[in-house]
Amino acid sequence: MNEPFLPFTRPSFDEETLAGVLDVFRSGWITSGPRVAELEAALVSRLGHDRRVLCFAHATGALEESLRTIGVGPGDEVIVPAMTFAASANVVLRVGATPVFVDVDLASRNLTPAAVAAAVTPRTRAVMPVHFAGLPVALEALQAVARRHHLVVVEDAAHAIGARYRGREIGSFGDLVCFSFHANKNMTTIEGAAISLPAGRVDWADRLERLRFHGLRKADDGSYDVELAAGKHNLSDVAARVGLGQLKRLDAFNRRRRELAGYYFARLESNPWGLVLPEWGDEGHAWHMLTVLVPFETLGFGRRELQERMRSHGIGTGMHYPALPPLTLYRALCDWHPGRFPNAERIGRETVTLPLFPAMTEGDVDRVCRALGQILGGGGA
Which residues are identified as catalytic?
185
| Distance in angstroms (rounded) separating the CA atoms of residues 290 and 305 | 20
Per the DSSP assignment, residues forming a β-bridge with 245 are none
Asked if residues 275 and 293 have their Cβ atoms less than 8 Å apart, the reply is: yes
H-assigned helices in the chain:
15-27, 34-47, 59-69, 87-94, 113-119, 139-149, 202-211, 237-268, 296-299, 303-312, 328-334, 342-350, 362-376
Q: Give 193's Cβ-side CA count (13 Å radius).
A: 25
* Closest C-alpha among 110, 98, 154 to residue 344: 110
Q: What are the C-alpha distances in Å from 227 to residues 89, 143, 206, 232, 277?
A: 27, 32, 11, 14, 50
Task: For residue 113, give the 3-state DSSP assignment.
Answer: helix
Round to the nearest angstrom and report the end-to-end CA distance of the chain: 19
Task: For residue 152, give the 3-state DSSP assignment.
Answer: strand
Q: What share of the chain is helix, strand, coil (3-state, %, to 5)?
A: 40, 15, 40
Per the DSSP assignment, residues forming a β-bridge with 176 are 154
